[in-house]
């Protein structure tokens, strides 16, 4: 039985080595991603498709890299490949962490400035809050008329459970170095939360919110300049619609938050047009199967779990952390 198990592990070892080799290995170019062709289209020119799907986070969810690192690496590869003439950002996200959204947004803006290749955003069913934040610097934005987008705003979420503690006869004992060291603590009574503390937290929210509006205004203005008379401009009173409300794609188009209504194919055609090419091969960058990840998977000792896929990633909001997140997902 032991010998049989060793033979199986040997087969798995060589299978993993073969997959890694066929994917191009992990060396050579210095990149940990490998190119995959989505549609050849009989063209030497390429459009790199970069997905931003699910909750935008700086945490490592699957594999060995976080979303921010993955997006930056994909942009780097697209910039170094002379055959890549444009990037298509495929967004289907309710938003996420403030820092992660801002880093991706900055990376896209810098890519267009330094590499001078257009980035076109294609919205799926959901591109709200942080999903819109990362798209705002793009030269062109395409949304379906039924896309849920907008939700421009910031939220910091938490629970106060002091009332429950009082009913149970539990009293917190807190020792702190300064009077604000326990800000946002869930065991503080209503009387212990000063107006000064509330004002400081609101100031943090306002700083991130003002940054969000700046990214939107700057991104849309620069896109309009690059597109000349094409594309859409933000309406004069656009900030009235930046109060956290969600918008349909049709509403976003009306108010100038997106440039065009259509599908993914519409975005591809627009990318070809902005890049000045007749047609293009669609490629994406994937993480190849590695022996390390395979062995890590086999090393897991947890019992089997059954997961029900609802089609969305439900966020777990952490106290004290600010989010660009659509309200449709956390109520």
Query: Which one, of 158, 174, 115, 162, lies nearest residue 139 by Cα?
Result: 115
* Catalytic option among 10, 113, 181, 279: 181
Interatomic CA distance for residues 270 and 323, integer angstroms: 31
* Catalytic option among 129, 135, 151, 290: 129
For the chain, give the longest Cα–Cα distance: 75
Whether 103 and 70 have beta carbons less than 8 Å apart is answered as no
Interatomic CA distance for residues 130 and 4, integer angstroms: 51
Q: Residue 241 has what DSSP assignment? A: G
Interatomic CA distance for residues 227 and 142, integer angstroms: 14
What backbone phi and psi angles, to 5 degrees, belong to 49?
Answer: -95, 120
Helix (H) or strand (E) holding 266: helix 264-275
Q: In what order do the strands lie in the sheet with 95-97?
A: 95-97, 322-325, 155-156
The answer to whether 129 is a known catalytic residue is yes
The answer to whether 135 is a known catalytic residue is no
Tokens 């609802």 map to which residue? 310
Any idea which residues carry the catalytic annotation? Answer: 129, 181
């Amino acid at each position: 039985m032991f010998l049989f198990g060793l033979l199986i592990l040997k087969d798995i070892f060589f299978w993993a080595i073969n997959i890694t080799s066929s994917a191009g290995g992990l060396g050579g170019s210095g990149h940990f991603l490998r190119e995959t062709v989505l549609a050849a289209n009989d063209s030497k020119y390429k459009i790199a498709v970069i997905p931003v799907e699910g909750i935008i986070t700086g945490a490592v969810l699957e594999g060995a890299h976080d979303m921010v690192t993955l997006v930056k690496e994909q942009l780097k590869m697209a910039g170094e490949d002379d055959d890549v003439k444009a990037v298509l950002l495929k967004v289907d996200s309710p938003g996420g962490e403030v820092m992660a959204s801002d880093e991706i947004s900055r990376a896209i803006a810098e890519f267009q400035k330094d590499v001078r290749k257009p980035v076109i955003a294609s919205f799926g069913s959901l591109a709200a809050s942080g999903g819109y934040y990362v798209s705002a610097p793009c030269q062109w934005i395409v949304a379906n008329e039924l896309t849920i987008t907008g939700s421009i705003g910031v939220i910091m979420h938490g629970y106060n459970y002091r009332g429950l503690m009082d009913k149970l006869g539990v009293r917190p004992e807190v020792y702190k170095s300064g009077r604000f060291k326990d800000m946002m603590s869930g065991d503080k009574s209503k009387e212990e939360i000063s107006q000064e503390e509330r004002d400081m937290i609101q100031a943090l929210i306002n700083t991130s919110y003002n940054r969000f509006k700046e990214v939107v205004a700057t991104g849309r203005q620069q896109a309009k300049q690059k597109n000349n008379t094409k594309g859409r401009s933000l309406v004069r009173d656009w900030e009235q619609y930046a109060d956290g409300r969600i918008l349909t794609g049709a509403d976003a188009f009306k108010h100038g938050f997106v440039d065009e209504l259509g599908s993914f194919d519409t975005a591809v055609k627009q990318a070809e047009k902005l890049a000045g090419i007749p047609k293009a091969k669609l490629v994406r960058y994937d993480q190849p199967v590695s022996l390390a990840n395979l062995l890590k998977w086999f090393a897991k000792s947890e019992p089997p779990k059954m997961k029900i896929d609802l089609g969305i990633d439900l966020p777990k909001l952490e106290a004290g952390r600010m989010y660009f997140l659509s309200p449709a997902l956390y109520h």
